A = this chain, B = another copy of it.
């Protein structure tokens, strides 16, 4: 049985060796007091789980030798990208990150909208939460998490092959996401701030081939809408 406390993460893992980050090194060498030649589990956040052995138990830069590959999880046939306006209360966004990683998410973008009250998001903290949720859910996939950008900048740098949705509460026709989302797509879904997108933002999204969608009959908070979209797109694909 895989012990969660002994699951480590290093994105720069080759099939021979890996180096743990400062925080992971500290946890390994200082907290768990692991020694040279002790074995542990390691994921590269790209679907692979390795058995590794400590080569150099350095408390800031612990070096591991890969013993063998235990599991190679194939990447899912779909790709969920949630672009969300961070909430005023950062706990709510952190909760969204934790839950979406549990359900499965490939990319998270933070978008500063006109009505956003929050002007910054500390990425290292968000990444720490995503890492902890990845370990907890034994997913072995670490999502890409992007620095916050303005709504306009987000629109100017869209990924070409994503199927785009915008979940807004403004006037205008919307379809239920469950009824339009096809299996095995790359989805990008935009979730607005408390107080919703401005009409100009909705227009700009529609002009950029975003389809206006609803997430159901309930009036959801920003972070709940984010998790609902992520859960729904996972369900569509299961």
Contacts and interface: CB of A to CB of B under 8 A. Distances in A.
Contact of A221 (B136, B176, B219): B136
Given A178-B238, A228-B231, A137 B220 contact: yes
A220 B178 contact: no
A218 B178 contact: no
A11 interface: no
B95 A218 contact: no
Interface in A178-217: 178, 216-217
Contacts of A228: 103, 231
Contacts of A232: 231, 235
Contact of A224 (B102, B219, B235): B102
Contacts of A137: 218-221
Q: How many copies of this kind of chain does the complex include?
A: 2
Contacts of A227: 99, 227
Contacts of A235: 178, 216, 232, 235
Contacts of A218: 102-104, 137, 139, 234
A138 interface: yes
Interface string A94-125: 01000100111000000000000000000000
15 contacts: A99-B224, A102-B218, A102-B220, A103-B220, A104-B218, A136-B219, A137-B218, A137-B221, A138-B219, A139-B219, A178-B238, A216-B234, A216-B238, A228-B231, A235-B235
Given A103-B216, A137-B220, A216-B234, 20 more contacts: A99-B224, A99-B227, A102-B218, A102-B220, A103-B218, A136-B219, A136-B221, A137-B218, A137-B219, A137-B221, A138-B219, A139-B218, A139-B219, A176-B238, A178-B235, A216-B235, A216-B238, A227-B227, A231-B232, A235-B235
Interface of A: 95, 99, 102-104, 136-139, 176, 178, 216-221, 224, 227-228, 231-232, 234-235, 238
